[in-house]
Amino acid sequence: MADESGIKQNGWNEYSKLVLKELQTLSDGIDNLSTEVADIKKDIVQIKASEDRISKLEKWKDKVDDVATPPQLKEISIQVDELKKLKKEVSDLSNWKVKVDEVSTPTQLKEVSSQVEDYKRFKTQATTIFAVVQFLMAAIMFAMKFMGS
């Protein structure tokens, strides 16, 4: 009997070790599943947050669409580009003005313009007087030719 109880005891020890090992394996599997479930929950939270952001973006887009349609936005973009070009042209003209102002001031340009107008008037008067004198000379010569003959 002693042998039998030793064998039973030895079998029970091995069985209990096997059961403990299986329990440990199951416990490790449960821990792994718990970790995976926690990771999945984190992913779900991130997905919900993304959905919330997408929902907010959709609401924002609807509000923007209420203000302006995509073709209108494109037209506005084109107008903005044109305004940028005009801004550059204005800047170029401003730079040109600064360069001109370095050569002469607006007052000097006005004086020169006035002098040019005076010279034009003088030229017109001189040409007119010359033409009148020439006409008078021709008339005198004509009169002398008929009177003197």
Least confident of 7-16, 82-91, 105-114: 7-16
pLDDT at site 116: 94
Least confident of 8-12, 92-96, 101-105: 8-12
- Judged against a pLDDT cut of 80, whether residue 123 lies above it is answered with yes
Mean pLDDT of 140-149: 84
User: What gap in Å lies between CA 71 and CA 19, rounded to an integer?
Assistant: 73
Q: What are the Cα distances from residue 73, in Å, to 55, 85, 86, 115, 120?
A: 22, 18, 20, 54, 55
Q: Binning pLDDT at 50, 70 and 90, where does residue 8 land?
A: low
Angle formed at CA 116 by CA 115 and CA 121, multiple of 5 degrees = 95
Token reading at 45: 């939270």
Mean pLDDT of 106-120: 89
Q: Binning pLDDT at 50, 70 and 90, where does residue 7 land?
A: low
Would you kindly state where each structural domain of the chain is located, as residue ranges?
1-67, 69-103, 105-149
Cβ(106)–Cβ(98) below 8 Å = no
Token reading at 36: 């995976």
User: What gap in Å lies between CA 80 and CA 72, rounded to an integer?
Assistant: 12
